[in-house]
Amino acid sequence: MIRQKDPEIRKNEIIQASEELFIEKGYENTTVEGILQRTGLSKGGFYHHFKSKNDVFIAIIDRITNETVKAAEEIAEMDDIDALQKIQLFSEMQFHMKMPKTKIIQVFFRERDINPHFHKHNVMMWEKYVPVFVKIVKQGISKGSMKVEFPEETVKLLFRMIASLYDFEEGLIEDEEKMKRHIAALEDIFTKSLGIETRGIHLVKSELLSALSRLSRE
């Protein structure tokens, strides 16, 4: 009797193979047929898990996001560091988790500018960070390191700003120096909006920006 492979394992195999193809060929040149060849699946096997390559790509981005959100939740629960240290650790964690994924993230940035489905998902992706960040901000408020009258609303607006960062100026991500200035301005807005007086917030490491900018020019 042939034993069927666990559906979740099969789904992860599709995601992994698709990620490799998106990086190698780009989104437009990756086809469902190519994914089938890479995985050895039938069309029925693919469509049992995903409706289209759009859905596979979103699953890849969601997996990256969910992993970083989970790590952020673990940081929020730490008792031995304060809220500002947690935000800094959040930045470090994002760098280490996303740096190996810069190529697929870059593909997403390219496609979200022309694909309305991806553009909408970009906002939803960043909103996943809001609850855990609100928790950290409330901890900061309780300890006096932050002063925010409306923490939930403020954090939600700030993350909406992150989600729309690349809408501010066309070709922003290709210009590394301009991108750094925009990020620095965003970090300054975060710091002031959260009523932080002791030290500023650093959201994105320059190495990650450099990698994304370099890939966008290739």
CA dihedral (83, 87, 88, 94) in degrees, to 10, reads: 150
The predicted pLDDT at position 168 comes to: 62
Q: Is the pLDDT of residue 218 over 80?
A: no
Mean pLDDT value across residues 9-26: 90
Q: What is the pLDDT of residues 20-78, one digit of tens each?
A: 998 888 888 999 999 999 999 889 989 999 999 999 999 999 999 999 999 999 999 99
pTM, two decimal places: 0.83
What amino acid is encoded at 66 in this protein?
N
The predicted pLDDT at position 5 comes to: 67
User: How many angstroms separate the Cα of 69 from the Cα of each of 74, 76, 96, 190?
Assistant: 9, 10, 13, 19
The residues, any chain, with a CB within 8 Å of residue 123's CB and separated by 6 or more, are: 160, 163, 164
The predicted pLDDT at position 108 comes to: 83
Question: Of 183, 177, 175, 94, which is closest to residue 133 (Cα–Cα)?
Answer: 94
Q: What is the pLDDT of residues 73-132, one digit of tens each?
A: 999 999 999 999 999 898 888 888 888 888 888 888 778 777 788 888 888 899 999 999
The residues, any chain, with a CB within 8 Å of residue 160's CB and separated by 6 or more, are: 123, 126, 127
User: How many angstroms separate the Cα of 187 from the Cα of each of 126, 181, 212?
Assistant: 16, 10, 18
Higher pLDDT, 113 or 160: 160
Question: Residue 110 is encoded by which pair of tokens?
Answer: 């390219």
Q: Is 171 left (phi over 0), alpha (psi -120 to 50) or beta?
A: left
Q: Is the pLDDT of residue 143 over 90?
A: yes
The predicted pLDDT at position 172 comes to: 67
Residue ranges and CATH numbers for the domains of the chain are 1-50 (1.10.10.60), 61-217 (1.10.357)
b/e map 25-58, b = 16+ CB within 10 Å: eebeebebebbbebbebeeeebeebbeebeebbb
